[in-house]
Structure 1
Amino acid sequence: MILLSKLLPVFVYPLSLVMECVAAALVCLYFRKQKAAIWLLGIALVVAYLPATEIVATMLVKKVERTYLPVDIYSVKGDAIVVLGGGGRPKSYPRTNVEFSEAGERMFHGIRLFKAGAAPVVIVSGGGIDFILKDQCEGRDMAELMIEFGMPADSIIIEDKARNTYENALYVKEIMEEKKMGKNIVLVSSALHMVRSVPIFRRMGFTVIPAPCDYIAEEKPYNWFSLLPNAWNLAWSSSVMKEMLGIAVYKMKGWL
């Protein structure tokens, strides 16, 4: 099931849909269905272009990211700050140290909240996908980086088993119940991921204070360049589709 959940989004990303349409068009041409092939190629062109433009990508990202807005770090209080995995790159050749990824702001934001007094401890949550990187553990990697950047080691609790957002919530709940820590958490993740993670943690019984970070879409005027496609915009649109598919799958499984 974990493997399926990781592979399924690949087939609905814009680039994948384009390839699927082109493949179907080639099949239609082979069977002399030229009209169907033209339609499929037209769909492929639209799917390739629109999500890769700044206007469409920004619109999609804003719709998701603006669900939860930034919080005043000095006004939030919880029993623990929970930082979800995805912000680091493991020690893997040629890297000799754990490094920040594009979502590394999650760890910085966790440190920021801790220093502001939002909670006495930080729980870093994330295991590894054993069929992808057997030695990777996001929880341990995040803890290593946070200590390097000033977090006291005795204020960090590592959750190192979770392989998806549902398991993040499940295993964090087990840790907090075992340590009798209460159920009020300040939840840190990328703004794009909050729309899925917050409901899951609330369904687990937590009182959640969302503390999103790592916003992608900015408030700025569009221009003619906004109509030009590029890989970054396509990646952002793909990330939105991944979250929407994740929400749909989690609802079907009864996790949301």
Structure 2
Amino acid sequence: MPFLLDKYAQLWDYPPAKLNKEATYSCVIVLGGFSSEKADSTGMFNGASDRFIQGLKLHATGQASHILITSGNGALDPDGFSEGDWVQTQLKQFNLPDSSVLIENKSRNTIENAVFTKKLLLARHLAPPYLLVTSAFHMRRSQLIFKKAGLETVPYTCNYIAGFGKFTVYSFWPSTETFNNWGAYNKELIGYVVAWLRKF
């Protein structure tokens, strides 16, 4: 039921970031998974698109001088589609300077996000700490992985899927949406344990 999921989410999710509005970070790192491939091999934004919105906003408002999108294709049988490449076409519509955009288009999972992102940041000589944008349920695992990869990041959570609403009579009513969201949190818990045990 939603009530139990919300209570769990409040313990697991990172709280909203409180950034120093006077500070400027060298880069905001946006983890992919906020777009999906269509049948014609182009992309479309999905339910996690708040990651893109918040990352773009942090760059546009001057909180970060660069924006880095990290995502390739995480499918078990990947074709030629790369989320990073497709998102780059979307960013061009906002007329961002090419010099402020970094695209990592090969990673298949969060561990590769961190490893490949680190190489890009070092190549561009961008100094830490970096803002890290991803969904609230995914941030705990992402922070662990990026820290183990040697990257100092400031968590900027978004795309909350549980733990944020008011309690009503429907909070105790079973729903398929709640069942699906439990799946996302269970996956994160397992992924966190695997990442904690893994050596980089």
Gap change, CA 1:227 and 1:68, over 3 Å in 2? closer
Q: Is the 8 A contact 1:98 1:145 kept in 2?
A: no
* Counterpart in the other structure of 1:42: none
Q: Is 2:4 the counterpart of 1:56?
A: yes
* 1:15-57 deviation per Cα after TM superposition (whole angstroms, max 9, x unaligned): xxxxxxxxxxxxxxxxxxxxxxxxxxxxxxxxxxxxxx11122
1:54 maps to amino acid: P
Q: 1:220 to 1:124 in 2, by over 3 A?
A: same
TM-fit CA distance, 1:60 = 2.1
Question: Per-residue deviation at 1:72?
Answer: 4.2
Q: Which residue of 1 aligns with 2:186?
A: 241
Letter in 2 for 1:86: G
Separation (CA, whole Å) in 1 of partners of 2:74 and 2:178: 27
2:130 touches 2:152 (CA, 8 Å); kept in 1?
yes
Percentage identity across paired residues of the two chains: 26
Aligned counterpart for 1:222 among listed residues 149, 168, 171:
168
Deviations 1:67-111 (A, max 9, x none): 332334835532211000100122424x8x522111111111111
Equivalent position of 1:6 in the other structure:
none
Distance in 2 separating the partners of 1:167 and 1:201: 10
Q: Is 1:103 matched with 2:51?
A: no
- Pick closer, same or farther for the CA change 1:159–1:61 going to 2, 3 Å: same
Structure 1, unaligned runs of 5 or more: 1-52
Higher-helix-fraction structure: 1
State the match for 1:206 in structure 2.
151
When residues 149 and 229 of structure 1 are mapped into structure 2, their CA distance, relative to the original with a 3 A threshold, is: farther
SS in 1 for 2:158: coil
Once the 2 structures are TM-superposed, how far is the Cα of residue 205 of structure 1 from its aligned partner?
A: 2.2
Q: Counterparts of 2:73 and 2:146 in 1: how far apart (Å)?
A: 20
Is there any run of 5+ residues in structure 2 with no aligned partner, and where?
none
Q: Return the alpha-carbon distance in structure 1 between the equivalents of residues 95 and 167 of structure 2.
A: 38
TM-score w.r.t. the length of structure 1 is: 0.71
AA aligned opposite 1:219 = G
Which residue of 1 is the match for residue 111 of structure 2?
A: 166
In structure 2, C-alpha distance between the alignment counterparts of 1:180 and 1:75, rounded to whole Å = 22
1:132 equivalent to 2:80? Answer: no
Distance 1:219 1:226, change over 3 A: closer
Is the contact between residue 74 and residue 116 of structure 1 (CA under 8 Å) also seen in structure 2? no
On the 8 A contact 2:3/2:171 being kept in 1, the answer is yes
Deviation at 1:250, TM superposition (A): 1.3
Structure 2 letter corresponding to 1:133: P
The count of aligned residue pairs is: 199
Q: Which one has the bigger strand percentage?
A: 2
Q: Distance in 2 between matches of 1:186 and 1:239?
A: 23
Contact kept? 1:129, 1:136, Cα under 8 Å: no
Q: Return the alpha-carbon distance in structure 2 between the equivalents of residues 215 and 132 of structure 1.
A: 29
Cα shift at 1:132: 2.9
Question: Once the 2 structures are TM-superposed, how far is the Cα of residue 123 of structure 1 from its aligned partner?
Answer: 0.7
Q: Which residue of 1 aligns with 2:63?
A: 118
- Residue type of the partner of 1:119? A
When the two chains are superposed, the root-mean-square deviation of aligned CA atoms in Å is 2.0
Aligned residue identity for 2:110? T
- In structure 2, relative to structure 1, the CA distance for the partners of 1:191 and 1:250 (3 Å cut) is same
* Distance in structure 1 (CA, Å) of the matches to 2:22 and 2:47: 27
Q: What secondary structure sits across from 1:187 in the alignment? A: strand
Would the alpha carbon gap of residues 139 and 73 (structure 1) be closer, same or farther in structure 2, given more than 3 Å must change? farther
